[in-house]
Amino acid sequence: MKDVIQKLAHIVQTVSHATSPNEQMSLIVESISNSIDTDVCSLYRANEKGDMVLYANKGFFSSAVPNIILPAGKGLVGQAAINRRPINVANAQKHPNYLYVTQTKEERFQGFCAVPLVSMRKTIGVLVVQRKAARKYSKMEESFLVTLAAQLALLLVNLPLPKCDEGATNLITGMKGAPGIGIGNCHFCDHFDLFQAPNAPCENIDTELDEWRELLAFVSNQLDDEKASLAGGIVEDVSAIFTTYRMLLSDPGFSREVENRIREGNWLPGALRQATQFLAERFLSMDDPYLQARHEDFHHLGNKLYRTWKGAKAASTKDLSDIVLVGQLVSVSDLASIPRNRLKGVVCYSGSILSHTAVLANALGVPALMGTGPIPGLTDGQTLIVDGHQGQLFVNPGELLLAEYQSLIRDNLRLVRRLDSLRDLPAETTDGERISLYANTGLLADLSPGLNNGAEGIGLYRTEFAFMMRDSFPSEDDQVNTYSHVFSAYQNKPVYIRTIDIGGDKPLPYFQFDKEDNPALGWRGIRFSLDNSNLQMTQVRAMLRAAKDTNNLNIILPMVSSSQEIDAFASLLSDACQQLKDEGLSIVRPPVGIMLEVPGAISQISSWKNKIDFISIGSNDLSQYLLAMDRNNARVASRYDHVHPAVLREIERIISITKASGIPASICGEMASDPVAVVLLTGLGLRKLSVSATKLPQIKWMIRSLSIKKAEYITSKVMQLDSASAIRKQMTEFLGDLGLGEII
């Protein structure tokens, strides 16, 4: 009983500290899922008509969750709401009031318990838990949920009801998929959803198999046409998204899954739905966010195959001059179908910022929002404002709001033109101090933006993306081809390439990792690559071959924490150089440095002065380890800030030690792209920054508007402050006084 009370208190306290309604609801389902034995936890909120809108969920197939609205009184959820008492059954599908919702694929779950959230004798929502096992939730579990529901009702009663009144401006929030501002007319995608396709008997298995193979060939050719339609507008690795989809279609495993289900007697749409769901959920179950996002690729392909099978034609857009594509998961095919001069924005009800949709939108310069959730009342043709900078969507904006955003678009164009004029000028302070600005990248798509924005080199090239976007380890020749593109683009400019940072929380789909209790501190980075020295040797040989006899390759080692790791890599590098020389190649041994991410490495810097050639401060992981906070954890993300006094003081210590040891130091990560942090970093003495390609012009403009003397003065003042919020407040005022407020 004491444990139950502690769980209740913990959940209520956690939820009450959330900073937004969306965060509250997400924390509710996450906390409950972690507290009792359940496979699914869902939170429904009643709208003005009494319908139940699914607002948060953990456990369903994520791309299907948004936009589910259960009519008032319908299904077990509706019955729990009307009767204001729990419904706890061993097999929900056998209950006479059961309502099947195709998008959730909840036929996988049998045990079911729904508990109403009641406030002032009115049901404001329903809390639902489900599990695959055909058994009821225990009396203790049901009592726990009833007690928790009473507490949650008090917290949620003051939240606004879900609504979208026609003719009224409605603000929707989502994740920032691609930056920018766009104004256009709503145009829906995904009118046909594969996951609503039912099972049905297959009348002739051989005929169905032939139809499936013809469908595969036809859609493969369609993808080639779509790729060609974007030729010249996007660079190689973004264009390769279409190649990736085509490879998925030609994957024997995918086709085999569909064919096996057809042979089991299911017709083509049902078999396609089952196979797509099976493969997508394999990726969805992975811990790494990038790999999780790959489940969306199967959803896109499944829908494309299904729509083509049905003979569906795309809705006409000829009457819409400016278009905002809206859908559950807007696909790359949808983006390719709209002329670029007419595509003004993308809105996905679900999906992640790592999805191929977000990558392509970013490459095309189209603002995108991901994971907005349900948008009741949205109709084709409505005017939308997509704010990719703030992660906001305005439906039916009024004249004043529309005029304000149109003005912002004009101001942004003027700022872009002003920044373009600085492209070939050095990042030099007003008192003549030169700051080197490099670009971060891991995709070939970022090569051109970095160069176009005046990058002096690549400060961090993340090699793991080339490993994660494949179904097997890339060969040495494959890697040579990739790295050669990088060196070719940045001829005569320094290129810092990080060896593969994989393992732990970033597994590969084709390599088996053991489950780790704390993957962030586990088998990853240099630890993984040295233990798999054959993979490390292949990668190092590829780097050396691609760089040939140039002097612009620099190798960065991730997650270094000991001298033994540096020594082991130095020995491997020597072997690689000798092998290639023996093969008749002209090789220059490159400088080798470390990514300083592990706090324990700071005190060892001075002893490494004869072992390493440079240090690159990895601000993302270093900040997280110093603060013991995961910036992607909703419960603590609001407290995470890389200008925390502890982080700044450790960076000050790093700079002091590296200067005394004669080791060049730079910084990469989000901190180097944050204007507030950049002023402080230059004030502390750093003169080399590696930033995101899109932020490079703003950072250069700020540096050219600032003197080192002023940066050192303001830095000395804020280093006396005891909180990140106080530091940001004072720095915001400082930048505002310099006329740089618009870049914050």
CA 734, 738, 741, 744 dihedral sign is: negative
How far is it, in rounded angstroms, from Cα 101 to Cα 371? 20
356 part of the active site? yes
How far is it, in rounded angstroms, from Cα 287 to Cα 520? 11
Three-state SS across 331-388? CHHHHHCCCCCCEEEEEECCCCCCCHHHHHHHHHCCCEEECCCCCCCCCCCCEEEEEC
Give 160-184 as a DSSP string: PPP---TTS-EEEE-EEEE-SEEEE
Contact of 132 with 63, CB cutoff 8 Å: no
Which residue in the list 113, 186, 577, 668 is annotated as catalytic?
668
Q: HSE of 364 in the Cβ direction (CA atoms, 13 Å)?
A: 27
Contact of 174 with 369, CB cutoff 8 Å: yes
- From 631, 736, 625, 640, select the one nearest 679 (Cα to Cα): 736
Give 652-686 as a DSSP string: HHHHHHHHHHT--EEEESGGGG-HHHHHHHHHHT-
How far is it, in rounded angstroms, from Cα 614 to Cα 557? 11
Contact of 682 with 703, CB cutoff 8 Å: yes
Tell me which DSSP letter residue 315 carries.
Answer: P
Return the beta strands (E) in 97-194 as ranges.
111-119, 122-131, 170-173, 175-178, 181-188
CB count within 10 Å of CB 283 equals: 18
CA-based angle 673:678:684, to the nearest 5?
145
Which residue in the list 295, 300, 356, 644 is annotated as catalytic?
356
How far is it, in rounded angstroms, from Cα 147 to Cα 78? 20
Contact of 693 with 446, CB cutoff 8 Å: yes
CA 305, 309, 314, 315 dihedral sign is: negative
How far is it, in rounded angstroms, from Cα 402 to Cα 397? 6
668 part of the active site? yes
Q: How far is CA 452 from the centre of its chain?
A: 25
CA R_g for the chain: 27
Residues with active-site annotation: 356, 668
